[in-house]
Amino acid sequence: MSDQSQTIDGAVSSGNLTRVVHHDTRVINFGDRLFYRVTQAFALIVILLALLLVFDLFRGAWEAIQTFGLKFLVGTTWDPVKRQFSTLPTVIGTLVKAFIALLLAVPIRIGSAVFISFYIPKSLRTIISYPMELLVGVPSIVFGLWGLFVMVPVIRSVQIWLKANFGWFFLFDGPAVYGVGVLSGSVILAIMIIPIITAVSRDILLTVPRPQVEGMLALGATKWEAIWKVALPYARVGLFGAVILGLGRAIGETMAVTMVGGNSFDMIHSLFDPVHSMASQIASEFTEATYSLYVSSLIYVGLVLFGITIIISLCAQYLIWRLSKGNVAVFE
């Protein structure tokens, strides 16, 4: 009798346990489905916002698209009085300033990130990194004012010296006495993107497994060889992503470039020529647009800028994919 009761109790207990397990499974499955739906909704919201942005840009630029077509991309005239608009000089100015800024910023940011990650003691790492991270949050208008009143006079002296000694070279053959232009805009962009690229690169280099670096040192390599052959190849995808992040910041920068770029719609021929970027052109002229074609042309400029950003992002994604597959050698 006792054995039967124990068997019945065991069956009941087993049944209760089974029901509890099934109940917990239903709860977990419901939680998974709920989390999946919520994250799916967030992703769809982002996609919807992007589509709405593209739609609004096309709708706002439609009058200019109908009037100028693709000639808007290759023309060199921006004359609101004659109602003639095109954007090739600003496209070239935007890209040239952004890539020169990258050329100036990338060596500095790699060197500073490597120094912070591998050479200074941990006790000093935070002290040095904190001011750098603070620079990331400085508004661009502050950089623009500093560049206009502090950096431009220095660059003006440099430009005058370069023109006097190397004026025969086409890059230094331009109006050097103003101090504002492609060179000033590129330098201020480089100063602005160095902190953010350095901060991201530092965090990426700190994720490199220390045993790999220490193993390289144990085999007799110098610290420089361990960094060059182990740390940088391991972090190459992230470092390239940091570069693209800085490029996006440089292309979309507005106020600082407006204050030190010179704001000219002429085609640039040297580093000293004044230049207008696409973002600064939209910001500085939107309030002056007094008729619909003028407004539509400015929105068309924004649409072109959006397209350039998308193309650069797609190229960056492809290169990152190649780097992650090991098909592109960077530090070898």
Q: pLDDT at position 11, please?
A: 44
pLDDT tens for each residue of 165-204: 888 888 888 787 788 889 999 999 999 888 888 888 888 8
pLDDT tens for each residue of 276-295: 889 888 888 888 888 899 99
Q: pLDDT at position 122, please?
A: 79
CATH of domain 69-325: 1.10.3720.10
Tokens of residue 320, six digits: 């990152």
The residues with which 262 forms a beta bridge, in sequence order, are 275
Residue 275 main-chain phi, psi, to 5 deg: -145, 155
Tokens of residue 141, six digits: 């208008």
Question: Is 207:235 a contact under the CB 8 Å cutoff?
Answer: yes
Q: How confident is the model at residue 103 (pLDDT cuts 50, 70, 90)?
A: very high
Q: How confident is the model at residue 313 (pLDDT cuts 50, 70, 90)?
A: confident
Q: What is the pTM of this model?
A: 0.81
DSSP 163-208: HHHHTTSGGG-S--SS--SHHHHHHHHHHHHHHHHHHHHHHHHTTS
Tokens of residue 221, six digits: 């390599």
Best CA proximity match to 143, nearest among 277, 270, 261: 261
Q: How confident is the model at residue 255 (pLDDT cuts 50, 70, 90)?
A: confident
Query: Of 10-14, 53-57, 62-66, 224-228, where does mean pLDDT reach its minimum?
Result: 10-14
CB-based contacts of 282, cutoff 8 Å, min separation 6: 254, 298, 301, 302, 305
Q: pLDDT at position 26, please?
A: 58
Q: pLDDT at position 24, please?
A: 53
pLDDT tens for each residue of 116-128: 888 888 778 878 8
pLDDT tens for each residue of 196-223: 888 888 888 888 888 888 888 888 888 8
- How far is the C-alpha of 88 from the C-alpha of 281, rounded, in Å? 12
CB-based contacts of 273, cutoff 8 Å, min separation 6: 174, 175, 181, 182, 262, 264, 266
Domain ranges of the chain: 1-61, 69-325
pLDDT tens for each residue of 3-60: 444 444 444 444 454 554 455 555 567 778 888 889 999 999 999 998 999 999 999 9
Question: Is 184:97 a contact under the CB 8 Å cutoff?
Answer: no
Q: pLDDT at position 203, please?
A: 87
For residue 330, is pLDDT > 50? Answer: no
Q: How confident is the model at residue 65 (pLDDT cuts 50, 70, 90)?
A: very high
- How far is the C-alpha of 16 from the C-alpha of 10, rounded, in Å? 10
- How far is the C-alpha of 226 from the C-alpha of 217, rounded, in Å? 6
Best CA proximity match to 294, nearest among 306, 282, 303, 304: 282
User: Which of 268 and 122 is assigned the larger pLDDT?
Assistant: 268
Provide mean pLDDT across the span 135-158.
88
For residue 1, is pLDDT > 70? Answer: no
Q: pLDDT at position 28, please?
A: 61
Provide mean pLDDT across the span 75-83.
88
